[in-house]
Chain A
Amino acid sequence: MANNITPVRAGAVNVPFGHVIGHEKWKGSQIAQEMQGKIKLILEDGLGVVDFHLPNRSCVLYVSEADLVAGNGFKRRLVRFRNACNLQGIVLVEKTQISNQYFPEVQKFVVLELGMTLLPVASQKEAAQLIVQLVHEQTKSSNPFHSKKSTKFLESSVFHTVQQIPGVGKTKALLLLENFGNLHQLCNASVQELERIVGHSLAQQIHTFFTQTK
């Protein structure tokens, strides 16, 4: 393979949403046909080692059954991609009855050594469907697994935490929080201060709970 070819397409960061830029070698392939109508596929040359550029800085590298059987050539391609850019690499691997035996080793290499993403597909048809879903997911605004760093109220959690103190139930927990305001104040309360809220023995118990060392 000529070394003067750029490993990735210049300007690959800016693929419009809903579009896929594919390597021209996929022209007329089943993968390209299956994507037609579902997604805007543009075929170009100069994509280097990448098979498809997706929006949102991600790329698909396709490893066929034949690549797996042929040996380690595909690994060089993945390493070349990994070294060339910081785009997200998604490796689609044709996992079939024939290539199945190679899969565990390939997965270790791609995911654990290179830190890339790997998804098995059984055929080009499945690969096309998966790429369509990957692009749709990027266009969707709400990903259920993105933790929304919401400024949610922590009252019920704090209330629950205080009830972990031995001898403290709901009623006492509420009393303690109303009087001390937060966990920090509560942890620093003296026996005398605690006694004003709860009975003597519980005040002792709470104080011991906060101050006892190993």
Chain B
Amino acid sequence: GNPPGPSSSSNELPLRNLKNQASLCILVDNHEISSGPEVISTLKNVHGVKVQICSLGSCDYIVSNRLAVERRCQAELLNNAHRSKMVQRIQQLKSKFDRICIIVEKERTRTGEVWRVFHRTKYYDGILSAFIQAGIKVLFSACQVETADLLKELALVEQRKNAAIHVPTEVEGSRQDVFRFYLSIPCVSYTLALALCHHFGSLKEMANSTPSEMAGRTQVNLQKAEEVYRYIHYAFDTQMLPVVVT
């Protein structure tokens, strides 16, 4: 939480931040309400970021139209107990997002414990190497407050690169079904589904758009728009369906 000291100088800083970053928006998966409450409250109260809690499912945070952030505790990276889950998750993210960042957060220390010795493993070095090799950005955080700070900084960098989330983050009424339809497309991220919802009048209109039209309206890159286009035109073959329909 915030230090209670109500000196005038400490009051001015958050206010100034609030003003500068009025348009900063970060989408947060609802499971973070329980696992990262301090991240959320710091983003809101200290950095003045617009935090939208959503059911993202596939990732922890979305800080721009193209960047997804995963928050992982350091212990999870020390041995291969969580490996297959992690690999699956990252591959899923790669299909939806151009950029991925992992924030490696230190476990909360118990009271009185100042400096816990960290036993670095070969597995830990290996998995960090694999992240780097795959072009995944890695950041290190000592606590939830620091993680919030890093998320804000990432969102700011993305904003400077014109990738900030500007689209309305909520979908209302019957559009929610349309939104879910868009979300079910494997290469479509939560933010792209929002953009498709808000920038196309109807689903039919989206389905009949060319990749360059889609890219123009939603600000997604042409490659991604082409991927969506291929999906919409993908010729379904019942023989290839692995599910037995009863």
Contacts and interface: CB of A to CB of B under 8 A. Distances in A.
A45 interface: no
A112 B153 contact: yes
Interface in B75-97: 83, 87, 90-91, 94-95
Given A145-B90, A164-B177, A177-B236, A137 B207 contact: no
A111 B236 contact: no
A30 B115 CA distance: 24
Interface string B98-123: 00000000000000000100101010
Contacts of B131: 145
Nearest to B238: A178
A133 B154 contact: no
B139 A107 contact: yes
A97 B116 CA distance: 10
A171 B238 CA distance: 12
Contact of A170 (B149, B203, B245): B245
Interface residues of A, number: 56
B184 A160 contact: yes
Contacts of B126: 133, 136-137
Q: How large is the interface on B (under 10, 10 to 19, 20 to 34, 35 or more residues)?
A: 35 or more
A90 B132 contact: yes
B29 interface: no
* Residue of A126, A161, A170, A177 most packed against chain B (CB within 10 A): A161
Nearest to B89: A145
Contact of B234 (A107, A160, A182): A182
A184 interface: yes
B16 interface: no
B178 interface: yes
Contact of B128 (A103, A130, A214): A130
Contact of A145 (B134, B177, B245): B134
Interface stretch (A65-73, A149-157, A191-199): A149-157
A154 B95 CA distance: 13
Contacts of B236: 155, 158-159, 177-178, 181-182
A7 B205 CA distance: 54
Contact of A144 (B87, B174, B180, B184): B87
Contacts of B204: 187-188, 210-211
Interface stretch (A13-21, A77-85, A115-123): A115-123
Contacts, number: 161
B153 A108 contact: yes
Nearest to B175: A214
A155 B120 contact: no
B195 to A, nearest CB: 14
Contacts of A213: 201-202, 205
Nearest to B156: A112
B1 interface: no
A183 B234 contact: yes
A130 to B, nearest CB: 5
Contacts of A143: 130, 133-134
A138 interface: yes
Contact of A174 (B178, B232, B234, B245): B245
Interface string B134-151: 101111101000100110
The 5 A-B residue pairs with the shortest CB-CB distance, nearest first, are: A137-B129, A145-B134, A133-B125, A187-B207, A147-B94
Given A144-B83, A159-B243, A188-B204, 13 more contacts: A112-B154, A126-B120, A134-B132, A137-B126, A137-B129, A138-B129, A145-B134, A146-B133, A154-B231, A155-B236, A155-B240, A165-B177, A187-B232
